[in-house]
Amino acid sequence: MSTEELKLRIFRQVDALDRFKLKEFYGVMLNYLNCTKDTAEWVGISEIEQQGIEEAIVQINEGKGVSNEHVMAKLKNKYIHA
């Protein structure tokens, strides 16, 4: 597959995404594009912390995460109306 064909295929797949999936994909893409190979932070944390981060990534990929908007709405509702 040529570079042009690959770009067109990616464009078509992105163009077909619904609003939620598009926002999610955009976040993933930015994370990938902004990624650095600096592992100093990873090496500097404990094995338990590393395992926790890896488990959280798995849970998010399985759709078990809670959006920031949901958390913020819940907190605002709890403390503004308290």
What is the DSSP track for 5-31? HHHHHHHHHHHT--HHHHHHHHHHHHH
Same domain, 80 and 44: yes
Q: What is the pLDDT of residues 64-79, one digit of tens each?
A: 888 889 999 999 888 8
Mean pLDDT of all residues in 48-53: 91
Is residue 70 domain-shared with residue 48, that is, in the same domain?
Answer: yes
Global pTM reads 0.43
How many angstroms separate the most distant Cα atoms in the chain? 59
How many domains does the chain contain in total? 2
Asked if residue 27 and residue 45 are part of one domain, the reply reads: no
- Same structural domain, 18 and 47: no
What band does 7 get if pLDDT is binned at 50, 70 and 90? very high
Q: Which two tokens stand for residue 62?
A: 């399985």
Contact between 26 and 34 (Cβ < 8 Å): no
* Same-domain pairing of 18 and 55: no
- Asked whether residue 44 falls in the same domain as residue 82, the answer is yes
pLDDT tens profile 15-43:
999 988 888 888 888 888 877 666 777 77
Assess whether 48 and 76 both reside in one domain: yes
Q: Residue 82: its pLDDT value, please?
A: 59
